[in-house]
Amino acid sequence: MTARLKEKYTKEVIPEMRKEFGYKNNMAVPAITKVVVNAGLGNILRDSKDDFEKISEDMTNILGQKPVITKARKAIAGFKIREGMPVGLTAILRGAKMYEFLDRLINIALPQVRDFRGLNKKAFDRNGNFNIGIKEHLIFSEVNRDTIKNIIGFEINIATTAKTDEEACKLLKLLGFPIADKIE
C-alpha cells in the first residue's frame, strides 16, 4: 500500500509540474529525496537519563523509526559540554516513512500550531531544500501529553531534487504544504 502523499505526487503533482515547467519526462520532475529531523536537547540531558529516554520514545512514535543520538564533537566549557556527551537526536526519513511523516505534518500537526499563518517562503536554501522549525513537539498527536516533562523543538529539513527554489516551492505547494507567499 503506497502512502497517500506519494499517490498524490504521482497522479497530480507530476502532470502539473510537467505542464508548468516543461519537463520532457517524469524522471526530470523534482521529488522529495529525504527528510532530516533534528532535536537539540540542551539542558534536558543534564537533568535525568529518564527524560532523555522519554524524549527518544516520543520521537520514535512521531517519526516511525528510532532516532540516532548525536554527540558533542568537542568540549565547550561555557555550555558545560564535554566531548562525546550526547547533545541531541537526529533521524533521516526516506521512502514510505518519509511520505507518512510529511502527510501527518501537513494535515494534522501544522494546523494545531497556535496563530499559524503558513510556512515562510524564505525558508528555502537556494538549492531547493526547505527548512521548518517547530517549537513544541506537542503538536503531533502521537505524543502522550499526560507524561510530558520537557517540551522540545524540532528542525525539519526537506531535501528535494529541485534545482531552484521556485521549482521546490511549487512542488511543496502542490503536495499540500501551507507555504504563505507573504508572512507579516
pLDDT on residue 130: 92
For residue 19 the three cell numbers come to: 505542464
Compute the average pLDDT of residues 85-98.
Answer: 89
H or E element, residue 52 = helix 49-63
Give the chain's length: 184
Q: pLDDT tens, 160-184?
A: 999 998 999 999 999 998 888 765 5
Q: pLDDT tens, 94-123?
A: 999 999 999 988 888 888 888 888 888 888
Q: Please indicate whether residue 71 or residue 35 has the higher confidence score (pLDDT).
A: 35
User: In this structure, what are the phi and psi dihedrals at residue 90, rounded to the nearest 5 degrees?
Assistant: -145, 150
Across the chain, what does the average pLDDT equal?
85
Tell whether 23 is covered by a domain.
Answer: no
CA nearest neighbour of 176 among 2, 1, 3: 3
Tell whether 19 is covered by a domain.
Answer: no
pLDDT on residue 160: 94
d(CA 131, CA 167): 15
Q: Give the total number of structural domains in the chain.
A: 1
Question: Global pTM?
Answer: 0.87
Residue type for 87, please?
V
Tell whether 17 is covered by a domain.
Answer: no
For residue 122 the three cell numbers come to: 524564505
Tell whether 62 is covered by a domain.
Answer: yes
For residue 154 the three cell numbers come to: 524540532
End-to-end CA distance of the chain: 41
151 has pLDDT over 90: no
Rg (CA), the chain: 18
Domain residue limits at 61: 30-180
Tell whether 157 is covered by a domain.
Answer: yes
CATH number at residue 100: 3.30.1440.10
Tell whether 143 is covered by a domain.
Answer: yes
1 has pLDDT over 60: no
Tell whether 100 is covered by a domain.
Answer: yes
Tell whether 77 is covered by a domain.
Answer: yes
d(CA 30, CA 164): 10
pLDDT on residue 182: 67
For residue 162 the three cell numbers come to: 529541485
